[in-house]
Every structure is written in structure tokens, then in C-alpha cells.
Amino acid sequence: AKGAGKNQYKLFDKETDRLLVRKMELERDLRKALVNEELEVYYQPKWDAESNHVSGMEALIRWNHPRLGVVMPSEFIPIAEETGLIVAMTRWMIHEVCRQNTAWQSLDLLHICISVNMSIRVFESGLLGEMVEEALQETGIKPDNLELEITETIAMYDLQDTIKQLKQLKQLGVRISMDDFGTGYSSLGSLDELPIDALKIDRLFIRQSDLTSKQAIISAIITIAGQLNLEVIAEGVETEEQMSFLKSRGCRVMQGYYYGKPMNAKDIEKWLEQPDN
Ligand code: C2E
Ligand code: CA
Ligand code: CA
Ligand code: CA
């Protein structure tokens, strides 16, 4: 038994080594990913369950690593944040999303708002305003067709500074939403001070929306959103049950695998050609 334990330890060691090597490799290669055009934007539809139409999309980043294949953001965004590369990556992301959206609009394929996820590091850099202004000018996109998704962590890290930056962004005309609402360091008490347009109910609540207790929380979020004049959107909707529960509680816009997974630009175009979309 002792011998087996020792072997197990070795096995575990190997797995740890493999992960460490992978992390070092990703760290080393991430800098080149931007210039080598290995980053790609995936788009996930937001669905208006009242009018049964696509009402928007969320942009989600992917890294097509030449050797390792598709790397997910959960693995490389933390590295991008540690190294500061997140600022350049977000600049690229905002520009690419505005460019793609303008292209779709000129083809008359879509006239929607697309959201981009924000990192706390981007707010710290103080460069977000100029990034957004630049992308709007260079692509000619209507400002309200761009949305920035912030989190409670970003809002509460330095509340006064965040409010100041968000107000400047609102002056440019872009939309702001609060992502993962209800899971972060609570911003509930300051929700009325933040110049935001929408609340996104976190996937965790939707996943457990068969529980009466989670249903109560979801209903409360929908009520608060309504009273503060904020749009509300549910993320991670996977089943018909979840969809009809949310609809019955007055949530109109939904996003999740039930409606569509994140897809690259080409696949989104095919998806849009389907008669039901
Ligand atoms: P998020 O902003 O909360 O994005 C939602 C995540 O849930 C996405 O994972 C999406 O693919 C996934 N998802 C959507 N619908 C469903 C569903 O029905 N079921 C399940 N199980 N999952 C669903 P993804 O694309 O892996 O992104 C993970 C996180 O990485 C994002 O969470 C966001 O925090 C971050 N991220 C992604 N792209 C960017 C980016 O360009 N910049 C920054 N700063 N962060 C990003
Ligand atoms: Ca998001
Ligand atoms: Ca989210
Ligand atoms: Ca999340």
C-alpha cells in the first residue's frame, strides 16, 4: 500500500509539472499572440424572449495557439492581467468588435449592440476612455451599439474612480452593464450611483433556478432592476424550464446554450441564416 501511495504521489507530481510547463508556455507565447493574430472573437447571442429576436451579442475572446489549439479565457486572461497585456488585448477586442459590427450592419445582417468584458486592470490603466473613443471614431459605429460589461469587483475596487470613469464613458454614448450580478463583492448599496444600463444575473443563480430560495433571489434582482430602470438579462440559460421560469418572472432578455453557444464570426453568420433566428 505504501508503494502505491508513492506512485500516486509521483503521478500527481507529473500532472503538476505538466500544468506548470503549460502555464510557462502560455506566458511566453501570449505576447506574440496579438501580433501573430492568434486571438479570435467569439460571439454569443442575447435573445429577446418577448419578440423572439436576437437583441444583442456578447464578445468572448479565444486564443488559437499554434501548438496547443484553442485556449479558453479562464486560462489566459489571468496571465494577461498579471503581465499587463490585458490592456492591449482589450484595446484590440473593442476595435475588432466595433469593426465586425460595422461590417454586419453595412451588409444589413444585424443592427445590434455587442458587449465586451472589462478587467479591473483596464480601469486602473486609465486608458479605457481613449480606447473607446478611438474605436468609435475609426469604425464609425453608433456608440450605443457598444456595451462594456463590468463586474462588482471592478465597481467596488475604487467606487468613486469607477463612477468617474463610467460617467465619461456614458458621455461618449456607450452602454454599460453589470456582469455576474449577485456573486461579487456586493455593490447592492451603490447600484443607484453607478451609471449603468443593465444587470446580468449570474449563471450560478440560473443553474439552480429549480430551488425556491434561488428563485427568490432571481425575482429580487429582476425587481430591483425594474425599479432602478435597468434592463435585466439572464446568462447561462440552458433549458426550457429555466427559460419559462425567467420569462414568468418578467425577465425578457436571455443568453445561454439554450439559444446559442459562443461562435466565431463565420459561424454566427451561418447561424443567422437559419429561419428561426
Ligand atoms: P463571463 O463574462 O461571465 O462569460 C460567460 C461565460 O459563460 C462564457 O465562458 C460563456 O461561454 C459561458 N456560457 C454562456 N452560456 C452558457 C451556458 O448556457 N452554460 C454554461 N455552462 N456556460 C455558458 P468563456 O467564453 O469561457 O469566458 C469565461 C470568462 O472569461 C468570461 O465570463 C469573462 O469573465 C472572461 N472573458 C472572456 N472574454 C474576455 C475578454 O475579452 N476580456 C476579459 N477581460 N475577460 C474575458
Ligand atoms: Ca460577461
Ligand atoms: Ca457573466
Ligand atoms: Ca461569470
pLDDT tens by residue, 108-142: 999 999 999 999 999 999 999 999 999 999 999 99
Q: How confident is the model at residue 7 (pLDDT cuts 50, 70, 90)?
A: low
Tell me: the pLDDT tens digits for 154-177?
Answer: 999 999 999 999 999 999 999 999
- Closest residue by CA, ligand 1 atom 9: 60
Separation of alpha carbons 243 and 240, rounded Å:
5
Protein residue with its CA nearest to atom 3 in ligand 1: 180
Q: Average pLDDT, stretch 57-82?
A: 97
Q: Is 12's pLDDT higher than 80? A: no
* pLDDT reading at 186 higher than 90: no
Cβ–ligand 1 contact at 72 (below 6 Å): yes
Indicate whether residue 81 lines ligand 1 (CB < 6 A).
Answer: no
Residue 244, pLDDT above cutoff 90: yes
Ligand 1: which residue has its CA nearest to atom 4?
A: 60
Residues 6+ apart with CB under 8 A from 241: 209, 210
Partners of 181 in the β-ladder: 201
> What is the share, in percent, of the chain residues with pLDDT greater than 90?
88
| Cα 213 from Cα 269, distance rounded (Å) | 39
Cβ atoms of 183 and 206 within 8 Å: the answer is: no
The interface predicted TM-score of the complex, written ipTM, equals: 0.98
The residue type of 14 is K
What is residue 269's predicted lDDT score, i.e. its pLDDT? 97
Task: Tell me which of 187 and 176 has the higher pLDDT.
Answer: 176
Pairing of strands 39-48, 146-150: unpaired
Indicate the pLDDT class of residue 185, thresholds 50, 70 and 90.
Answer: confident
SS (H, E, C) 139-198: HCCCHHHEEEEECHHHHHHCHHHHHHHHHHHHHHCCEEEEEEECCCCCCHHHCCCCCCCE
Distance 203 CA to ligand 3 centre (A): 7
Mutating to test ligand 1, I would choose from 58, 81, 117 the residue with most ligand atoms within 8 A of its C-beta, which is 117
Our answer on whether the CB atom of 206 is closer than 6 Å to any ligand 1 atom is no
Taking CA atoms only, the protein residue closest to ligand 1 atom 42 is 117
- Report the distance separating Cα 174 and Cα 118, nearest Å: 14
Q: How far apart are CA 229 and CA 232, in angstroms?
A: 9
Nearest ligand to the CA atom of 77: 1
How far is Cα 182 from Cα 195, in angstroms, rounded to an integer? Answer: 18
User: pTM (2 decimals)?
Assistant: 0.94
